[in-house]
């Protein structure tokens, strides 16, 4: 503990007491009087970024027995050195201070000349390893993408006991390159540097395959279909590890995303740039490729919708890339972006006195473009024909009207802090919400004689209508079952 004025005075008072006693006593001072002082505990401490440290102060001979806390003489500390609250709880800064040693001070509120101090060393945090990609590599040079948290400048990805050439992308992402010389399973960890050098508690197993498992030509063709284009490194990797390993790695790869544009952004350029960045450099190539395919089936348009609508819509398609088609049907139907684009949002129930009917735009496109198509098809994609050799329609106008009425009553998501209205103002985060007083409660007859009973709320009619569509054969038109297994 650092020497302070309270320590000097403590000794001086003790000496004075001895002298007074030798002289026959001093008025107002006895050997049992509390000696003024402040002592902080612990006297020394090491604190890692992201952790906290509790300090306490013992005050003697002073009233009130309270203190004020400071870091390097700054009351309460700051964002560079770290902060300490009124109860003595110290929180390190977001990054290491320079130097990484600081002084915690507790100052008596009765007499400011009495202080207690503690010396603190701030160390790097313990890295947390969440995932590596890929999980299987071939012999030779390789690149790993590592995700987790608490990564700092100088962090190293450890390939067994070998430190790889590592690049810090962010506090949650690292890339590392190396060379595998033998087949087998290798433990991968992350090590943060001094001060306080330490490795992640968790490790991930990386399989090194002896390969090759596929020809170069077959691998290139496979990657042309499953990514936005093969690279020499990726061809080599997949050629050695095989297609199944690549698919499994892609399904488990962290998903690229689309940040929400600020409210001031007026054009689609930032979101378009993110799309191309993901396509060129994203590690989840297969997810991005499938999401792009879905965007060309479940079409919306940045010419109609604002950027604040398109980014969440692209996230939705990416999220659902490896789900089943029925899930996609429901998620897209409830998307405020699709709701605005094809007029399902604020779609009111029919009003006979006003001579209005439910908007049919989304209902018609849902059947024509997104699921059934105009005409029934054979397994080979040819038209099914009636007795007069005419194509057989998949649905009629009555089915369109019934579907439109089943989808009434939905409006934009309710903004945080607001109340649900008949027509909520435009808001793009989350699913649309239903107001049953605006939903058509009359019975509806859908395809194949399926009936939605009268009195059902919107949240029951919508899945019922989608279930009806999902049971109609879509042979030759769209995916069925698990989207990716068919894709």
d(Cα 459, Cα 427) in Å, to the nearest integer? 20
pLDDT tier at 254 (50, 70, 90 boundaries)? confident
Task: List Cβ neighbours of 336 (8 Å cut-off, separation of 6 or more).
Answer: 309, 312, 345, 412, 413, 426, 427, 428, 430, 431, 432
Is residue 116 predicted with pLDDT exceeding 50? yes
DSSP string computed for 115-129: EEEEEEEEEPPPPEE
d(Cα 38, Cα 36) in Å, to the nearest integer? 7
pLDDT for the residue numbered 32: 61
Q: What is the CA radius of gyration of the chain?
A: 34
Q: Of 85, 81, 120, 83, which Cα lies nearest the Cα of 97?
A: 81
Q: Tell me if the bond preceding 211 is cis, omega within 30° of 0.
A: no
Cβ neighbours, 10 Å, residue 215: 10
pLDDT tier at 165 (50, 70, 90 boundaries)? very high
pLDDT tens for 289-321 read: 999 999 999 999 999 999 999 999 999 999 999
Cβ neighbours, 10 Å, residue 138: 24
pLDDT for the residue numbered 352: 86
d(Cα 362, Cα 445) in Å, to the nearest integer? 18
Relative to beta strand 37-41, strand 156-159 is: unpaired
Task: List Cβ neighbours of 107 (8 Å cut-off, separation of 6 or more).
Answer: 38, 67, 68, 69, 70, 114, 115
- State mean pLDDT over 13-26: 43
pLDDT, mean over the chain: 89
Cβ neighbours, 10 Å, residue 382: 11
pLDDT for the residue numbered 474: 56
Is residue 425 predicted with pLDDT exceeding 80? yes
DSSP state letter for 154? T
User: Using an 8 Å Cβ cutoff, are 442 and 418 in contact?
Assistant: no
Q: Of 432, 433, 424, 428, which Cα lies nearest the Cα of 312?
A: 428
DSSP state letter for 369? I
pTM of the predicted model, to two decimals? Answer: 0.70
d(Cα 105, Cα 39) in Å, to the nearest integer? 10
Q: How far apart are the first and last CA of the chain?
A: 68
pLDDT tier at 445 (50, 70, 90 boundaries)? very high
pLDDT for the residue numbered 139: 86
Scored b (16 or more CB within 10 A) or e, 59-74 reads bebbeeeebbbbbbee
Is residue 29 predicted with pLDDT exceeding 70? no
Tokens of 167: 């690049």
Tokens of 394: 């998949």
d(Cα 20, Cα 23) in Å, to the nearest integer? 5
Q: Of 197, 171, 173, 175, which Cα lies nearest the Cα of 94?
A: 171
d(Cα 376, Cα 383) in Å, to the nearest integer? 6
User: Using an 8 Å Cβ cutoff, are 194 and 211 in contact?
Assistant: no
Stated as kind and residue range, the H or E segment containing 204 is strand 204-209
- State mean pLDDT over 226-235: 92
- State mean pLDDT over 381-408: 95
Please state the φ and ψ torsions of residue 92, each to the nearest 5 degrees: -65, 165
- State mean pLDDT over 87-96: 96
- State mean pLDDT over 254-276: 94
Q: How large a percentage of the chain has pLDDT more than 90? A: 79
pLDDT tier at 239 (50, 70, 90 boundaries)? confident
Q: CA triplet 272, 273, 275: central angle to 5 degrees? A: 65
d(Cα 172, Cα 195) in Å, to the nearest integer? 20
User: Using an 8 Å Cβ cutoff, are 96 and 49 in contact?
Assistant: yes
Query: Can you list the domains of the chain with their CATH numbers?
Result: 5-123 (2.60.40.60), 128-252 (2.60.40.10), 361-486 (no CATH)
- State mean pLDDT over 102-108: 97
Q: What ranges make up the beta strands (E) of 218-304?
A: none
User: Using an 8 Å Cβ cutoff, are 383 and 377 in contact?
Assistant: yes
pLDDT tier at 17 (50, 70, 90 boundaries)? very low
- State mean pLDDT over 179-187: 91
pLDDT tens for 458-476 read: 999 999 999 999 988 754 3
Cβ neighbours, 10 Å, residue 173: 16
């Amino acid at each position: 503990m650092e020497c302070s004025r309270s320590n000097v005075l403590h000794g001086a008072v003790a000496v004075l007491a001895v002298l007074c006693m030798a002289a026959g006593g001093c008025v107002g001072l006895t050997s049992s009087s509390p000696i003024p002082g402040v002592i902080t505990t612990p006297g020394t401490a090491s604190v890692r970024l992201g952790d906290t440290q509790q300090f306490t102060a013992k005050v003697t001979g002073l009233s009130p027995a309270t203190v004020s806390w400071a870091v390097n003489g700054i009351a309460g500390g700051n964002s560079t050195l770290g902060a300490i609250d009124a109860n003595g709880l110290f929180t390190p800064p977001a990054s290491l201070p320079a130097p990484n040693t600081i002084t915690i001070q507790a100052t008596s509120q009765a007499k400011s000349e009495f202080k207690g101090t503690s010396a603190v060393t701030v160390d790097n945090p313990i890295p947390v390893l969440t995932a590596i990609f890929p999980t299987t590599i071939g012999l030779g040079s390789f690149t790993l993408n590592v995700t987790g948290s608490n990564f700092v400048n100088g962090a190293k990805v450890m390939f067994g006991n070998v430190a790889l050439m590592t690049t810090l992308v962010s506090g949650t992402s690292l890339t590392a390159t190396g060379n595998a010389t033998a087949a087998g399973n290798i433990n991968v960890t992350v090590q943060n540097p001094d001060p306080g050098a330490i490795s992640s508690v968790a490790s991930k197993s990386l399989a090194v395959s002896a390969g090759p498992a596929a020809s170069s030509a077959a691998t290139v063709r496979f990657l042309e279909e499953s990514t936005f284009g093969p690279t020499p490194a990726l061809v080599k990797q997949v050629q050695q590890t095989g297609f199944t390993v690549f698919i499994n790695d892609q399904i488990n790869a962290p998903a690229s995303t689309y940040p929400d544009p600020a409210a001031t952004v007026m054009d689609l350029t930032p979101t378009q740039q993110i799309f191309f960045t993901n396509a060129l450099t994203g590690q989840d190539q297969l997810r991005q490729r499938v999401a792009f395919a879905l965007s060309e089936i479940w079409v919306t348009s940045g010419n109609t919708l604002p950027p604040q609508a398109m980014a969440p819509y692209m996230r939705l398609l990416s999220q659902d890339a490896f789900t089943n088609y029925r899930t996609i049907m429901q998620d897209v139907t409830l998307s405020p972006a699709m709701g605005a684009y094809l007029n399902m949002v604020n779609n009111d129930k029919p009003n006979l006195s006003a001579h209005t009917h439910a908007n049919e735009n989304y209902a018609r496109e849902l059947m024509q473009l997104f699921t059934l198509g105009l005409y029934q098809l054979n397994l080979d994609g040819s038209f099914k024909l009636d007795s007069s050799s005419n194509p057989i329609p998949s649905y009629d106008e009555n089915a369109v009207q019934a579907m439109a009425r089943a989808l009434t009553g939905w409006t934009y998501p309710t903004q945080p802090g607001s109340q649900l209205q008949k027509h909520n103002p435009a808001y793009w985060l989350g699913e649309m919400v239903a107001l049953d007083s605006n939903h058509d409660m009359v019975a509806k007859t859908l395809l194949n004689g399926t009936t939605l009973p009268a009195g059902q709320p919107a949240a029951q009619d919508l899945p019922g209508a989608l279930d009806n569509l999902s049971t109609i054969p879509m042979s030759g038109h769209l995916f069925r079952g698990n989207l990716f297994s068919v894709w």
